[in-house]
Structure 1
Amino acid sequence: MVAFLRTFLLSTLVILTLNGCNSTPKVEKDGWVKIATKTANFKSEEDVVDINNYFSKQKYDALKLTCTQGTVNIKDINVSYADGKTQNLQTLGVLTADSSTRPLVLNTKEQTINKITLSYKSLGNLALNAAGVTKKAKIEIWARKPKETN
């Protein structure tokens, strides 16, 4: 019983440690931080990305989307700020694997982001995905910290 309890506690500790490492911000050069990752569903055309507690307390001056797998047509991005205001960002359209949008400038550097709503059309379907022809698009949301906070 003691050996089982020891193994259980050690396993729990390892899982919590690895989970904490996964939520640590990954900073790219010039102040860009990956704040969320989303897998585009073939059926859904709108996804709400709630910003986790660590990233929702930060302030950013721009966003960009990067597609790491598949193909997706991003229609627009709606950013909801902590003060209740929203901003609609128009995008360039289709993203394929290893492509990104241009930096999309946010209206304010003074507010924090609560959530981001993505409207998109994922190219492909479940049958093609199962056959290995197309894959669901994986999208990373990156935010840039203002220069004075880098």
Structure 2
Amino acid sequence: MRKFLYPFLTGLMLLITLSGCNSTPKETDNGWVKLATKTANFQTDTDTVTINSLFNSNHYGSLKLTCTQGSVQIDAIQVNYADGHVQKLSTLGLLTKNSSTRAMTLDRAQNKIKSIQLTYNSLGNATLNLAGITKKAKLEIWAKKSADTNK
């Protein structure tokens, strides 16, 4: 029994360690951290991105969205904080490939983000996607650390 339990527990610990390293957001040179990537279907959709607080203890002061492929109409952004507060961010509307929203200030930089809810509509359709004319939009959610709370 013991000779099977030791390799199993060792493998489990290795798996947990590696998944933790992969889940930790990497900070860019300018201080932005990519929290998530989403692919939008050709319909109005609402997605919720849950921020993994087990591996991420940072507090963020700004948020922005970047479109890396396709075109997408951003209808709503809602930030849900760990303390229960909800912040609705105003959107700029249409994002096309290689464009970003402005940096949107978060009003609860002292609290951790629990989740971010996005409502959007990817422009185009499945037929045009198959023909290679339009592609599903890919969105990246970026956050910037709050200077006051991460010292």
TM-score tier, shorter chain, comes to 0.7 to 0.9
Q: Aligned residue for 1:101?
A: 101
Contact between 2:44 and 2:119, CA under 8 Å: does it hold in 1? no
Shift of 1:121: 1.4
TM-score (norm 2): 0.81
How do 1:1-150 residues align onto structure 2 when only pairs under 5 Å count?
16=15, 22-53=22-53, 54-55=55-56, 57-148=57-148, 149=150
May I ask how many residue pairs the two structures share in their alignment?
138
- Computed over aligned residues only, the root mean square deviation of the Cα atoms, in angstroms, reads 2.2
Matching residue's letter, 1:85: H
Whole-angstrom distance in 2 between the partners of 1:112 and 1:43: 31
Percent of pairs with identical residues: 56
Structure 1: where are the runs of 5+ without partners?
1-8
Whole-angstrom distance in 1 between the partners of 2:43 and 2:113: 27
Structure 2: where are the runs of 5+ without partners?
1-7
Matching residue's letter, 1:97: K
Whole-angstrom distance in 2 between the partners of 1:21 and 1:97: 29
Shift of 1:75: 1.4
Deviations along 1:39-98, whole A, 9 cap, x unmatched?
A: 11113421111112323x321001000001010011120000001110000111111111
Give the ranges of 4+ consecutive aligned residues of structure 1 lying more than 6 Å apart after TM superposition.
Answer: none
Higher helix share: 1
Matching residue's letter, 2:94: V
